[in-house]
Structure 1
Amino acid sequence: MEHVFVAERSISPSTGLKRWVVADTATYTRHAPACAFLQGLRNKGRSPNTERVYAGRLALYLNHCHARGVDWAAPSFLALSQLQQHLITEPLPPRSRRTRAWAPPRYRSRGTANAVMIVVAEFLRFSALHGLVAPATVSLLSQPKFLRFAPPGYDTGENNQWRHIQAAAFRFQITEPGYEDLTPEQIRHMIGQVPRARDKFLIALLAATGLRIGEALGLHQQDLHFLASSQMLGCTLTGPHLHVHRRLDNPNHALAKSPRSRSIPTTPELVALYTDYQHERDRVPEAAHHPMVFVNLFRPPLGRAMSYPNTKQAFERWARTAGHPARPHILRHSAATRWLRDGVDRDVVQRLMGHASPLSLQRYRHVDDTELRAAVDHLQALKEQP
């Protein structure tokens, strides 16, 4: 029987702990090095969603090696190159059994292939630290590179000695697409097209605060301080605001990316939408005492915390209704872009977004056609001055 490696979520019978593993379906055993790598992710505080994605990519790598008779711990340069090409040339399986036979095949993008190769490289380096992979194999994963154009904020050294770096050897060159954002009009139209108060509040929350979707789904009701004064709650901040905390025990596995807590001011409009949502939620008895902010109100199991997959499906429906892309991260990008265009100090935007490094803001600043026209008109006006 052919060995097939799969990524599965396991539950400990003694502790009830849930975690992702890579298992061999032929022998019903776990792949010990892959599971140890995933355990390392958990020890670093990585999110369950990251663990799930990494588990799937490890299973993909192990299956690729097994099908071609390659030792996963000792792949040659040629084997890794073949894996890189395989990732973009092998059609993906259909999304579901209902997919039409005549539907065109789907393929991974080069960006996705790069993400898979990064996981493979991290896994091989991890295994090398534990004596499972030879140093010669690790040396195949990177190659010297000279930085002709250093990224903003990068210190190249007094003699440019730090322009010589080690870059990933198996990485496709791709054009950075930049971040999409929505105009305030598009966001208002999107909110207006959504019939339910809970969903209006979720869209407006992401657009007004720049929260990541994991941060929003991980909010507890006690995190929302929507009164003019929150002193009775033991909070000294004034005005309506919310607190973002990283919790590892959320029932929907939602996790804030940053371990550092932060507070974000909110607007009266957002508070009003939350009040509407509370009236809607009060009509569902199962949701009455749940601590999470976002819960199921319209389909079973009622009262359960909203999950990542359900939220993703909801945004796909809203995008079709609105007639433009509408993903949680687009709303986050829209908030950052709006703040930067309005002249908000970059340090303030960094704090609001929860970024550890100011360099993370570089891609959020879009230049639109209006700004280009204003720059040209300004230059022409200067030339016409006597």
Structure 2
Amino acid sequence: MIRVPSGSRYWSVLDDELQVHPVADRFLREMRFGKDRAESTTKAYASGVALFLRWCGCTGRDWQEAAPFMGLFILWLRHTPADGRQIATGPGANPARGNSRINKVLVAVRGFLSFAVLHREAPAWVLTVIYDVGDERDLPAEVQHENAKLTHRMRAQHHLHEPETAIDRAADEEIVALTVACRSARDRLIVLLLSRAGLRVGEMTGLRRSDLHLLPNNGAFGCAIEGAHLHVVRRPNINGAWAKSRRDRTVPLDFLVVWAIDLYLLERQECPAAAVSDYLLVNLFRAPLGSPVTPGAVNELFSALCTRAGLSRAIAPHMCRHAFGSNLADAGALLDEIQDLLGHRSPESSRPYLHPSAARMRDAVDRVPVPRSLTEGAGR
């Protein structure tokens, strides 16, 4: 992890002499600051690039010309864990990495090699090895651009099959159980911000107190939006929190969330170290007191709450966001409203968050009218 003079951080890659790898470092800095990606994203990409460079070193290959052997790299990833030892292979043996993890590594490596080609650190033919490159001339005329402009497209050549794993929603009963299991007003607020405001963990842990506008008329804040609400703003945060969407959005708050905020602020006043922090959610019960809650701490909290509440399955924070989207749909919200409240770029991104309840599906069937001729026939 590297901290720049502005205070922002990103992750880079070291070589065998513990020196920063120059091309990898430029690639990761460009991701963090040029493309405005999250610090956690650079960490994931740095891990993938480091594995690729390690494999090249172990096999005596020049990383700039190792792209034709990506199949062997995938095999190495599957059977070589992080500590470098070989694991057992054959039927029934557990792989060191699953298909999902390997695909994430391949995404990072493709990005790194593409960056190297673009900046002339690797030969241009590398792209033809890692991508299938084509243009729209081989597409049906119906889907080609009307302006006849030639466009090219690329498809990754190396990608392992991943079974689709849809994220389920947290049931209302499970959310209530989690809320009851909370031992502080802060923890209850965390559960409610996720389940009744639909925030992502990174958005929630990056909230500032100044993002909350809780008055019926917020003109004093210079805000024209009426009613209690909060603003989700993408900005650097010292706790690693990151708002995924580049577009700021406003989320209305219901009375239950406002009530939870009031109780939490009273609890927060009992911790003098929290007074100097503008972050909304801060550590109140363990060191360092007053520092902002990290996204990882929220995951730890939910693991403890699930155990304390005696739930039959583990509830992840993101399942509460799915519950928010589903409850909006059950209450009659339109798809464009759900899209804006969840902060999605398109309506299609919101569809996986909609999990119709059994009662709503039953109502949908019952609303379909029965032809009169069928009812008359049944009567006879």
Q: TM-score under structure 2 normalisation?
A: 0.85
Q: What residue is the counterpart of 2:97 in the other structure? A: 108
1:63 is displaced (CA, Å) by 0.9
Deviations 1:142-167 (A, max 9, x none): 23799xxxxxxxxx9752458x9642
Q: What residue is the counterpart of 2:217 in the other structure? A: 229
Q: Percent identity?
A: 30
1:220 is displaced (CA, Å) by 0.5
Matched letter for residue 308 of structure 2: T
Deviations 1:303-336 (A, max 9, x none): 0111122222222222333422222221112212
Matched letter for residue 216 of structure 2: A
Matched letter for residue 343 of structure 1: G
Structure 1 residues 72-111: aligned runs within 5 Å: 72-77=63-68, 79-91=69-81, 107-111=96-100
Aligned pair in 2 of structure 1 residues 72, 288: CA closer, same or farther (>3 Å)?
A: same
- Higher mean alpha-carbon deviation, 120-129 vs 180-189, is at 180-189
2:41 aligned with 1:50: yes
2:375 aligned with 1:385: yes
Contact 1:219 1:244 in 2 (8 A): yes
Deviations 1:243-283 (A, max 9, x none): 111112x2213221222211110000111111111121111
Q: What residue is the counterpart of 1:330 in the other structure? A: 319
Matched letter for residue 276 of structure 1: L
Deviations 1:189-212 (A, max 9, x none): 111111111011011001111111
Structure 1 residues 154-169: aligned runs within 5 Å: 159-161=142-144, 166-169=154-157
CA distance in 2: counterparts of 1:93 and 1:28, whole angstroms: 17
CA distance in 2: counterparts of 1:128 and 1:145, whole angstroms: 18
Q: TM-score under structure 1 normalisation?
A: 0.84
CA distance in 1: counterparts of 2:251 and 2:104, whole angstroms: 32
Q: SS where residue 215 of structure 2 aligns? A: coil
Aligned pair in 2 of structure 1 residues 266, 301: CA closer, same or farther (>3 Å)?
A: same
- Higher mean alpha-carbon deviation, 261-270 vs 65-74, is at 65-74
CA distance in 1: counterparts of 2:357 and 2:153, whole angstroms: 34
CA distance in 2: counterparts of 1:130 and 1:122, whole angstroms: 12
- Higher mean alpha-carbon deviation, 230-239 vs 118-127, is at 230-239
Contact 1:210 1:332 in 2 (8 A): yes
Q: What residue is the counterpart of 2:149 in the other structure? A: none
Q: What residue is the counterpart of 2:186 in the other structure? A: 198
Aligned pair in 2 of structure 1 residues 325, 158: CA closer, same or farther (>3 Å)?
A: farther
Aligned pair in 2 of structure 1 residues 17, 226: CA closer, same or farther (>3 Å)?
A: closer
Aligned pair in 2 of structure 1 residues 172, 136: CA closer, same or farther (>3 Å)?
A: same
Give unmatched runs, 5+ long, in structure 2: 85-92, 146-151
Aligned pair in 2 of structure 1 residues 201, 92: CA closer, same or farther (>3 Å)?
A: same
Largest Rg, 1 or 2: 2
Aligned pair in 2 of structure 1 residues 378, 238: CA closer, same or farther (>3 Å)?
A: closer
CA distance in 1: counterparts of 2:6 and 2:193, whole angstroms: 36
Matched letter for residue 220 of structure 2: M
Q: What residue is the counterpart of 2:113 in the other structure? A: 124
Q: What residue is the counterpart of 1:64 in the other structure? A: 55
CA distance in 1: counterparts of 2:359 and 2:76, whole angstroms: 43
2:174 aligned with 1:186: yes
Aligned pair in 2 of structure 1 residues 288, 16: CA closer, same or farther (>3 Å)?
A: closer
Aligned pair in 2 of structure 1 residues 301, 76: CA closer, same or farther (>3 Å)?
A: closer
Q: SS where residue 73 of structure 1 aligns? A: helix
CA distance in 1: counterparts of 2:298 and 2:126, whole angstroms: 41
1:339 is displaced (CA, Å) by 1.6
Match of 1:212 among 193, 197, 200: 200
CA distance in 2: counterparts of 1:315 and 1:307, whole angstroms: 13
1:177 is displaced (CA, Å) by 1.3
Matched letter for residue 222 of structure 2: G
Aligned pair in 2 of structure 1 residues 73, 385: CA closer, same or farther (>3 Å)?
A: farther
Q: SS where residue 140 of structure 1 aligns? A: helix
CA distance in 1: counterparts of 2:6 and 2:333, whole angstroms: 48
Deviations 1:330-352 (A, max 9, x none): 11122122222333111111111
Q: How many residues align?
A: 355
Contact 2:342 2:350 in 1 (8 A): no
- Output the aligned Cα RMSD: 2.7
Contact 2:78 2:98 in 1 (8 A): yes
Matched letter for residue 181 of structure 1: R
2:159 aligned with 1:171: yes
1:299 is displaced (CA, Å) by 0.5
Q: What residue is the counterpart of 1:319 in the other structure? A: 306
CA distance in 1: counterparts of 2:80 and 2:341, whole angstroms: 41
Aligned pair in 2 of structure 1 residues 178, 144: CA closer, same or farther (>3 Å)?
A: farther
Aligned pair in 2 of structure 1 residues 17, 284: CA closer, same or farther (>3 Å)?
A: same
1:88 is displaced (CA, Å) by 3.3
Match of 1:262 among 236, 249, 253: 249
Q: SS where residue 11 of structure 2 aligns? A: strand
Structure 1 residues 299-318: aligned runs within 5 Å: 299-318=286-305
Q: SS where residue 242 of structure 2 aligns? A: coil
CA distance in 1: counterparts of 2:186 and 2:59, whole angstroms: 50
Structure 1 residues 132-143: aligned runs within 5 Å: 132-143=121-132
CA distance in 1: counterparts of 2:79 and 2:102, whole angstroms: 10
Aligned pair in 2 of structure 1 residues 242, 375: CA closer, same or farther (>3 Å)?
A: closer
CA distance in 2: counterparts of 1:347 and 1:125, whole angstroms: 36
1:125 is displaced (CA, Å) by 0.6
Q: SS where residue 316 of structure 1 aligns? A: helix
Contact 2:203 2:241 in 1 (8 A): yes
